[in-house]
Structure 1
Amino acid sequence: MEKKIWYPPRDIVDQSNVKLFMDKHGFKSYEELVRRSSEDLKWFWGNLPEWLGVEWFREPKAVVDLSRGVEWAQWYRGGLLNAAYNVVDRIVKMGYGHREAFTWVGEDGEVRRYTYLQLKDEVDRMAKLLSQDYGLGVGDVVAIYAPMMPESIAAMLAAMKVGAVASPIFSGFAPPAVAERLKLGEARVLVTVDGYLRRGRRIALKEQADQAVKLAGGAVEHVIVVRRLGIDVPWVEGRDEWYDRAIAGKAGSAEPEELDPEHPALLLFTSGTTGRPKGAVISHAGAILQPGKEHYFNLDIHPAWRGGEDRLWWITDIGWMMGPWQVLGSQLLGASHLMAEGAIDYPYKSRVWRLIQEHRVTHFGFAATVARMLRAVASDTVEDYDLSSIRAFGNTGEPIDHATWMWVMEKLGGWRRPLINLSGGTEVFGCILLPSPVVPLKPTTLWGPALGVDADVFDDEGRPVRGEPGYLVVKKPFPSMTRGLWKDPERYIKTYWSRFPGVWYHGDYALVDEDGFWYILGRADDVIKVAGKRIGSAELESVLTQLPEVAEAACIGVPHPIKGEVIACFLVPKGGYDAEELASKARKAVVDRFGKPFAPEHVVIVSELPKTRSGKITRRVLRDLARGVEPKELSVLENPEAVEKLRDIIKRIGGG
């Protein structure tokens, strides 16, 4: 069933947080609320803490101070707060300690549930270990190299509680990538795990952590090891300590450090297009206000004080932004969230549907590639499970194609639940664009700007454009923007504020259509320029994945001596196909949509594309190979063996 515009059902609108808010404050439409929030930042960001129930140790005297320039905006001057206190202690203090904070499910079926009271006890014990035994305090860095699991969450929150900086690192990174982040962050403590399960295999992470510590050159003083598999691990006496033993004798509450709202809560490293990783510094205020706002107004997670019993599950890792975002946003509202160890289609292909049914997931988020994978391997089992608990879906990490958007809306949501397609980034710890449950949607759209975010689309000269692609920018600051880059202020200005002076350049290629709906077309470095004509990779891929024979697609620009670049499309077929016929059909589909100048020079049929564990296709690997550059940090990939096959293919078509 084809739908050009989806309209939210009346009951979803009437029961939503944002509708109740608009009625209370006299807004006739969501558009009016968004407009007011971006025009009057002091009104919106000044009142948001109260709307979300944030508790201050000392109320701020000013909402924002721009005396150092828009690039160095300072928020909530004079105030004192603590992010960890607000997402744990405050919930207990309000009388919701018995409610579930999260559930963790192992790949082997083990289930562990934590109430807010249990979580508070563990966070307090860990906080005492960090501050009393290790002498950590304000500004020290605690790195976490482990999957999404209860101890990872407790360690992250404990670090924040004592004023240290939590630095989660993707559990799939190889030792050299981990070492680089440990060294850049000058981490004094590393929290890791003996091992974990992935597709039935035991991943011995402690061994890799030891290699990383050695490569980092000795900055790490203590290594805390979580017991997951109970396997033998290498041990350094005097440095290593078992997590459970270390916190066993630390009963009693730990007082939170009262911090400036600008104080760093999170150090999140994100790969740069060149050079070393960028250290995004997220403040205590930004770490709770941005995800809290998005969970409340946009995902429509009902807080505990509204009687909500919502549970969010976003398929992610604590080392990616969406991991801490899930924890801090849901827990600020006294809601619950789910974490699942291992792969989404193992030990059975319908694992996702079973987890949603068993744990009554109300909000389910993913990367578009995950949805495509589920569509390919588990679509035939959807009807065997009860997914009626879901009130909203979410997509982020990459643009979603038309066919997958339609499948989620129809097959999974029965046209009754919104797909909250969101886009932002690690550097802003949240979203720049996303819809709410009360607005109409077109397929693949992000609707428009987030609340409190003055977004626009600029052309090369810095002029706003509509109806044609341009660069996503933000014209005013907001609290969760990175507070510089970790010990690299010059790179911060160069990366985000130099393309259009005084305007945040986000690096995404975007479009606002004739009806005012916003779209992300991919990263700006995913833009392909054929004889001076620009097109986004995601635009091409969206057309190709609508072909019934195509399961996945990735398009890049391959260097060409005359045209600058030509288009190369890599297709993963669904089943039986004729290679020449499929290639011809793919070229025709692109030409029919975009014209002959954008006809792909190369259409290559491949068995798989390089993907991260969260399911995101990594085009940067393809681009690097096409330019003769050795791809970095291949340890993030679920299937690094795919790179070697692609290396040979790209050489044959003239790239590299």
Structure 2
Amino acid sequence: MLSAEITKVVSETITAKTAHSPHVATLEEYKKLHASSIDDPESFFRRGYLNASVNCVDRWALKHPEQESDEPGQHVHISYGDMLKQVCMLANVLKSFGVKKGDIVAIYLPMVPEAVYAMLACARIGAIHSFVFAGFSAEALRDRISDANCALVITADQGCRGGKRTPLKKITDKAVAECPSVKNVLVLHRPYCPPEIMYAEDPLFILYMSGSTGKPKGVLHTTAGHLLGAALTADVGWITGHSYTVWGPLVIGSTTLVFESILTYPNPGRYWQMVETHKLTQFYTAPTAIRALRRPGDKHITSHDLNSLRVLGSVGEPINPEAWHWYNDVIGNGKCPIVDTYWQTEAGSIMISPLPGAVLTKPGSATVPFFGFEPKLLDPTTDKELEAKKGESIEGVLYMKTPWPSMARTIYGDHKRYLETYMALYPGYYITGDGAEKDSDDYIWIKGRVDDVINVSGHRLSTAEIESALIAHPRVAESTVIGMSDDVTGQAIFAYVVLKDDSAHAPVAYIHQDDASHADLVKKLSHDLVIQVRSHIGPFASPKRVVFVPYLPKTRSGKIMRRILRKIANGEVGASSDEEIGKLGDLSTLADPSIVATLIRKVHNL
């Protein structure tokens, strides 16, 4: 259970119709509430019962049935009353197929209203939903269905993303052909159901994470904990979409916007047109999306009215200061606080974040822990907890000292793996796997995955810091830095760089050509970027090699696949043949697999 103070904040959040003023207005108020959230270590929800669907739909449908809940498609508005009917109808269909409490349903849908209905319908009858991103291949879908032993799959005939149609039913058919557990496939082509009463610790959903090695991990989240975390604090196929597109906004009775496509289609002004049309107040995206939106220039932004925005959010990776300032100045017009959030799929909700209006921000810092989280830094060499002296900063591996309500309870079907992955290395702590720094103001700076640290001649260098230095150059849109093997220094810095498309920098187009006549120009810009890093960090952080590429290998959700870049840079793949590319492992989650051959040619001068 949480303290009375936290309960009061939740209650105020739920009942407030508008939130123009912060619920927590000062740093002192935040510190008091945070301390209270840590000092109650007892069970979170003893003897508690609820239903997530009722909390997210019924109570708002009864209180104000005409209020909008979702705004999908071409300005189609869905009220809470309409959504309740749709959810109940789908829930009854699931029950007619024999789905009951504790069963697992795979959802393989695009960003359409039915995706939200499906999640809520499962919760209504006590079924556990496993949402699979609609960009995954048949093989990836098969693996997730098989691991969770799903009996039913919900899909659609097709999806539409960036002007391209994906045959979802065909992909599903191929996947379930190798899944004997699946008895029925429900295809959505666009009444009341009584809710199942759920114990607070009953599972709500399973969400599969792709690792660089091994089979996907299906992290399991529980009902009450996830709802609380989402209430206090993207694509619904990922944890941000679960928490902050569906459960979070709906449990507090607000309006959420869902759209099916990509951020730059049919033009780079797509996001800003939506903000203007729907008068959006909160905008939450990833640094990789911010950099992609910055790349075409500001002309796609200034033509739209963004004055409705009140809070800007960032999630998914550390945001570099250059992107932070652009986000603040151009999108927020210097008037919107930026909530730079740090959390993980396993966390279920935000772990470290500034509170808008209460905590002053620093570009690139996640700032302070959220309620219920007690982060600590450990020395990776001594395994001891680090304590900073007043006025000093410390750097180490980020761990959580205490449990929190929304944390994943297990990896489905493999609890031993859960304990080994998150608890075993340092008993008594939850392992995040990220490095971090706590500065003299006790603000936390995420340095990236521990395995992304590059050790050059004994200097442990953060890839995020080097990438931030590179992107500060006026011609650079995006960069990724990895460590390459070096006989002298152990590791050396290898930088992949994407340049801006802005017409002001049109001459850089030659970088993406293989014409040898441009070698001098390439050499000069490479030298400029090395000088850029030397001046921002120091000579020891100088990239040994800079390679210019048209874009980076990303998953359909926008995450950079660093293992591909690392293997290519280290010569593990030396040719662009299908046989050589096969050495890179599973590429099914790549948005554009053709970039791999381009990268190999660029790196190895083929």
Shorter-chain TM-score bucket reads 0.7 to 0.9
CA contact (8 A) 1:401 1:444 kept: yes
Please show how residues 251-400 of structure 1 align to structure 2 within 5 Å. Answer: 251=191, 253-294=192-233, 316-326=234-244, 327-400=246-319
Which of 62, 67, 70 aligns to 1:99? It is: 67
Please show how residues 511-526 of structure 1 align to structure 2 within 5 Å. Answer: 511-526=437-452
Partner of 1:285, secondary structure, is helix
Partner of 1:551, secondary structure, is strand
Unaligned runs of 5+ in 1: 1-11, 43-62, 65-74, 228-243, 245-250, 295-315
CA-atom RMSD in angstroms: 2.0
Which of 18, 25, 29 aligns to 2:24? It is: 18
- Deviation at 1:603? 1.0
- Deviation at 1:453? 0.6
Would you say how many aligned residue pairs link Structure 1 and Structure 2? 554
- Deviation at 1:439? 1.2
Once residues 212 and 425 of structure 2 are traced to their aligned partners in structure 1, the CA distance between those partners, rounded to angstroms, is: 15
Which of 345, 358, 372 aligns to 1:426? It is: 345
Partner of 1:130, secondary structure, is helix
CA contact (8 A) 1:528 1:556 kept: yes
CA contact (8 A) 2:376 2:385 kept: no
Which residue is 2:53 aligned to?
A: 84
Which residue is 1:298 aligned to?
A: none
Which of 473, 493, 505 aligns to 1:567? It is: 493
Please show how residues 125-274 of structure 1 align to structure 2 within 5 Å. Answer: 125-131=89-95, 133-215=96-178, 217-227=179-189, 244=190, 251=191, 253-274=192-213
One-letter amino acid of the structure 1 residue matched with residue 69 of structure 2: A
Which residue is 2:384 aligned to?
A: 462
Please show how residues 424-503 of structure 1 align to structure 2 within 5 Å. Answer: 424-437=343-356, 438-460=358-380, 461-464=383-386, 466=388, 467-503=393-429
1:117 and 2:123 equivalent?
Answer: no
Which residue is 2:578 aligned to?
A: none
- Deviation at 1:369? 1.2
One-letter amino acid of the structure 2 residue matched with residue 29 of structure 1: E
- Deviation at 1:647? 2.7
Once residues 612 and 274 of structure 1 are traced to their aligned partners in structure 2, the CA distance between those partners, rounded to angstroms, is: 16
1:584 and 2:527 equivalent?
Answer: yes
CA contact (8 A) 2:494 2:569 kept: no
Partner of 1:104, secondary structure, is coil
Offset from partner CA, 1:557-600 (integer Å, 9 cap, x none): 11234433211001112232432122112212222333333221
Once residues 459 and 147 of structure 2 are traced to their aligned partners in structure 1, the CA distance between those partners, rounded to angstroms, is: 39
Which of 565, 579, 583 aligns to 1:622? It is: 565
Once residues 209 and 187 of structure 1 are traced to their aligned partners in structure 2, the CA distance between those partners, rounded to angstroms, is: 13
One-letter amino acid of the structure 2 residue matched with residue 605 of structure 1: F
Offset from partner CA, 1:140-186 (integer Å, 9 cap, x none): 11111112211111111111111110110011111111111010011
Once residues 28 and 551 of structure 1 are traced to their aligned partners in structure 2, the CA distance between those partners, rounded to angstroms, is: 39
Once residues 429 and 326 of structure 2 are traced to their aligned partners in structure 1, the CA distance between those partners, rounded to angstroms, is: 37
One-letter amino acid of the structure 2 residue matched with residue 597 of structure 1: F
Partner of 1:77, secondary structure, is coil
CA contact (8 A) 1:508 1:520 kept: yes
Once residues 238 and 545 of structure 2 are traced to their aligned partners in structure 1, the CA distance between those partners, rounded to angstroms, is: 33
Partner of 2:200, secondary structure, is coil
One-letter amino acid of the structure 1 residue matched with residue 68 of structure 2: E
Offset from partner CA, 1:327-379 (integer Å, 9 cap, x none): 10001110011111112111122111111100111101111111111111252
Offset from partner CA, 1:465-511 (integer Å, 9 cap, x none): 55243211100001111111111111111110122111001111211
CA contact (8 A) 1:405 1:443 kept: yes
1:35 and 2:35 equivalent?
Answer: yes
- Deviation at 1:648? 3.4
CA contact (8 A) 2:226 2:407 kept: no
Q: Higher relative CO (CA 8 A, sep ≥ 6), structure 1 or 2?
A: 1
Offset from partner CA, 1:278-328 (integer Å, 9 cap, x none): 11100001221111110xxxxxxxxxxxxxxxxxxxxx2221111111210
One-letter amino acid of the structure 2 residue matched with residue 98 of structure 1: E
State the percentage of identical aligned residues: 34
Partner of 1:325, secondary structure, is helix
- Deviation at 1:515? 2.5
Once residues 605 and 432 of structure 2 are traced to their aligned partners in structure 1, the CA distance between those partners, rounded to angstroms, is: 34
Once residues 59 and 146 of structure 2 are traced to their aligned partners in structure 1, the CA distance between those partners, rounded to angstroms, is: 34
- Deviation at 1:381? 2.7
Partner of 1:397, secondary structure, is coil
CA contact (8 A) 1:567 1:602 kept: yes
Partner of 2:199, secondary structure, is coil
Once residues 399 and 28 of structure 1 are traced to their aligned partners in structure 2, the CA distance between those partners, rounded to angstroms, is: 26
CA contact (8 A) 2:208 2:216 kept: yes
Once residues 318 and 584 of structure 2 are traced to their aligned partners in structure 1, the CA distance between those partners, rounded to angstroms, is: 22
Unaligned runs of 5+ in 2: 1-17, 509-520, 574-582
Once residues 147 and 448 of structure 1 are traced to their aligned partners in structure 2, the CA distance between those partners, rounded to angstroms, is: 35
CA contact (8 A) 1:349 1:378 kept: no
Offset from partner CA, 1:611-647 (integer Å, 9 cap, x none): 2334333323212444538344433332221122123
Partner of 1:427, secondary structure, is coil
Partner of 2:410, secondary structure, is coil
Which residue is 2:463 aligned to?
A: 537
Offset from partner CA, 1:103-160 (integer Å, 9 cap, x none): 112xxxx3332111111111111111112x1111121111111122111111111111
One-letter amino acid of the structure 2 residue matched with residue 458 of structure 1: L
CA contact (8 A) 2:132 2:237 kept: yes
Once residues 179 and 144 of structure 1 are traced to their aligned partners in structure 2, the CA distance between those partners, rounded to angstroms, is: 12
Which residue is 1:303 aligned to?
A: none
Once residues 522 and 337 of structure 2 are traced to their aligned partners in structure 1, the CA distance between those partners, rounded to angstroms, is: 37
Once residues 79 and 213 of structure 1 are traced to their aligned partners in structure 2, the CA distance between those partners, rounded to angstroms, is: 37
CA contact (8 A) 1:370 1:614 kept: no
Partner of 1:385, secondary structure, is coil
CA contact (8 A) 1:172 1:635 kept: no
